[in-house]
Copies of this chain bind each other. A is one copy, B any other.
Amino acid sequence: MSFQLTILGSSSATPTSQRNPTAQYLTIHDRHFLIDCGEGTQMQLRKYKLKFTRINHIFISHLHGDHYLGLQGLLSSLHLLGCTQDIHLYCPKPLKEIIDLQLLHSDTHLKYSLKYHFLNTSEKELIFEDDKVLVESIPLNHRIPCCGFIFKEKPGLLSIRKEMIEFHSISTKDILRIKKGEDYHTKEGKVIKNKVLTYPAESLRSYAFCSDTCYDERILPHIKKVSLLYHEATFLKNLEKRALETFHSTAEQAAIIAKKAQVDKLLIGHFSARYKDLKPLLDESKTVFKNTELACEGLVVEL
């Protein structure tokens, strides 16, 4: 089952000719999520041949333009391409007014229904759940209300050991119970522990997206041991003061968070336009947390 992230934008507030503002495309078990939607996102989706008509859940972390100004254009294109399925939008409440005003003045009546889910930017919340995936929002510490998002795979059925089915002559009904994690009771009244009957469960994959934030250890319990963490790293360490003033982080700070949260892998992004060469940011992060990668346009991470 796939769990794949594609980076569409790596720049901070002012894009460059090489770097687009924040947007990421996440596929988990045939669910297609868009995370933030900076200006130019629909062109980036086309560039990387990602069918944007598949997207029906869009998550917007906050209302700084570099995180949402591509949304109105994307919504318009989805309309013009004839999409009719519901689009779910998880976003700060004022975004509805902004979208409605622009639809009004362009005299656009969307062919699909836009379902709003307003974010609580002060505490962790479960915002999406189906049989295989759940998504939580967590508060981040930024200049305006801002959320991060954690995407988690849910446990599926266990794989049962074939030889055990034969040995105990287990019925189909009981097989399902065992796959769900129950122990087995033989006709003779003996209890066979589930872990003897099944293969160890695969570890569940998870992705935490920490959009714009200053260094804040309060996020640690929420992102603890995730498989993949994206944490912004707008500046190098020598601009730590500037980072704090603008509620952003340095590459070193992103790495400290990754280390303390014991995550498997770290992606850093949201790079200031001042850095033509990103290697110093990568090096700074790797000094603290070795398994770091730059979240550059076109990067695909398969978990």
Which A residues form the contact surface with B (CB < 8 A)?
13-17, 20-21, 39-40, 42-43, 46-47, 63-66, 69-70, 72-73, 76-77, 80-81, 92, 94-95, 97-98, 101-102, 105-107, 143-144
Contact = CB atoms under 8 A, between A and B. Distances in A.
A114 to B, nearest CB: 15
A223 to B, nearest CB: 26
A46 B16 contact: yes
A13 B105 contact: no
Closest 4 CB pairs of A and B: A17-B46, A39-B73, A63-B105, A94-B105
B70 A42 contact: no
Nearest to A14: B77
A43 B46 contact: no
Contacts of A80: 13-14
Contacts of A107: 143-144
A107 B81 CA distance: 34
A94 B15 CA distance: 27
Contacts of A98: 98, 101-102, 105
Contacts of A144: 105-107
A43 B144 CA distance: 25
A52 to B, nearest CB: 11
Given A69-B69, A105-B94, A106-B64, A15 B39 contact: no
A66 to B, nearest CB: 8
A77 B46 CA distance: 24
A39 B107 CA distance: 18
A64 B80 CA distance: 13
A126 B16 CA distance: 36
B43 A13 contact: no
Contact of A69 (B16, B66, B72): B72
Given A14-B42, A97-B101, A101-B101, 9 more contacts: A13-B77, A13-B80, A14-B76, A15-B43, A15-B77, A39-B39, A39-B73, A92-B105, A98-B102
A65 B106 contact: yes
A43 B70 contact: no
Nearest to A49: B17
Given A101-B97, A101-B98, A102-B98, A17 B63 contact: no
A107 B98 CA distance: 14
A65 B17 contact: no
Contact of A40 (B39, B77, B95, B106): B39
A17 B40 CA distance: 10
Contacts of A105: 63, 92, 94-95, 98, 144
B63 A106 contact: yes
